[in-house]
Structure 1
């Protein structure tokens, strides 16, 4: 609950992510044209890219507030291990950013003429992929905590790690839109999500320990 309150008060809560998501989706038809066939073809990729960038907006604040007010060293000596702290931070980020994006994506898909069969797989892929984005982002935030203007460096660090999640998430929605089987990319996406949730809290804890020395 503490991390949820911090995530919302830090200015990187669901309002900012949803606003960015909406702006990107609204601007796409102005950039590529209003042709319904073109929009339907690129809608899965556009929605996934917009969701990824929206999730990236608030990552630099995951540990920054605790670092600034001096509570991060206290968390490091608390009974809860740093791995649990990193997992809690990632969970709070997902609840305030990833979950609202997942719920809003079908409604915004209507603006891009997303084919009907793709709505369910799109929501499923985002539900599986956004926890991975939050877990990977927690690792990147732990690496750059305490750095001045670390937001750009954080983006450069995590974006390459986001690419597999983006590929399989957009591919699942694209295949569903074209009437093709999409079980394989969904399973790959689920594997990436489980692997990220299992490994990234430990990597983030190591990075935090190094930065706290």
Structure 2
């Protein structure tokens, strides 16, 4: 079983990093940096304002970047009958979803954490704020990955599912966004703890909710 899971993880990660119509892992990073570059033009050259709000902008950009590959997370495998093949090999839908969450996070979480370094320079964030942002992204992006995969499973097979999944993820990700951005203010440690707690809840729920949604779609 562990060998099959490893093969599945490598397959999913290769598809998400290099693949297809979603542009691979580079598109979310470019989108993330584009938001960081455009925001100073929108608010003007007010350094204190940029420093105050830049961390929140990074969080919003991270959420939007995580949404970009949703249309390729689940639906293509359902259309190709891959879930039927995995079931015949003894790999449950819950296991596939759990591996997909990990692959999705690896494809955008660490790259966005690296991209946050130049983004912080563009937004004028100091080193302490940048450190808090990086820890928050480390705690929060796994939850965003779990939420994205779950919603992608729920909307797979629906007409306009890609657009619908994006619309669903944004409001459902608000708690992670609030806690993550809130960690940049007073009481930052509690904000980071709540961000991590929200991520853990989403990670625990995702395999079961996503697996049930995939089974319902295949019926």
Alpha carbons of structure 1 residues 131 and 124: separation in structure 2 relative to 1, 3 Å = same
The whole-number CA distance in structure 2 between the counterparts of 1:86 and 1:18 is 24
- 2:12 maps to which of 3, 21, 33: 3
Question: 2:156 matched to 1:145?
Answer: yes
Q: CA deviation at 1:12?
A: 4.4
Name which of 76, 82, 87 aligns with 2:98: 87
**Residues 51-77 of structure 1: CA distance to partner in whole angstroms, max 9, x if unpaired?**
100001011210122123221322244
Residue 26 of structure 2 corresponds to 15
Alpha carbons of structure 1 residues 5 and 204: separation in structure 2 relative to 1, 3 Å: same
Preserved CA contact (<8 Å) 2:113 2:137: yes
Structure 1, gaps ≥5 residues long: none
Q: Answer with 62-71 or 118-127: which moved more.
A: 62-71
User: C-alpha root-mean-square deviation of aligned residues, in Å?
Assistant: 1.3
The answer to whether the Cα contact below 8 Å between 1:131 and 1:197 also exists between their aligned partners in 2 is: yes
Q: Which residue of 1 aligns with 2:108?
A: 97
Alignment equivalent of 2:192, drawn from 170, 186, 189: 186
How many residue pairs get aligned? The number is 208
SS in 2 for 1:183: helix
Distance 1:78 1:144, change over 3 A: farther
1:29-55 CA-to-partner distances (Å, cap 9, x unmatched) read: 111111111111110110000010000
**2:4 paired residue number:** none
Distance between the aligned counterparts of 1:142 and 1:74, measured in 2? 17
1:35-46 equivalence runs, <5 A: 35-46=46-57
**Corresponding position of 2:177:** 166
Deviation for aligned residue 1:80: 1.7
Please say if residues 13 and 97 of structure 1, whose CA atoms lie closer than 8 Å, have aligned partners that are also in contact: no
Partner SS state of residue 79, structure 1: coil
2:211 matched residue in structure 1:
205
Query: In structure 2, which of residues 195, 202, 207 is the aligned counterpart of residue 196 of structure 1?
Result: 202
The answer on whether the counterparts of 2:83 and 2:93 sit within 8 Å (CA) in structure 1 is no
Deviation at 1:152, TM superposition (A): 1.2
Shift of 1:204: 0.4
Partner of 1:134: 145
* Structure 2 unpaired stretches of 5+: 1-9
The runs of at least 4 consecutive aligned structure 1 residues that moved more than 6 Å come to none
Per-residue CA deviation, residues 85-139 of structure 1 (Å, 9 max, x unaligned), is 0011111111111221122213211100112211111100001100000001111
In structure 2, C-alpha distance between the alignment counterparts of 1:32 and 1:73, rounded to whole Å = 51
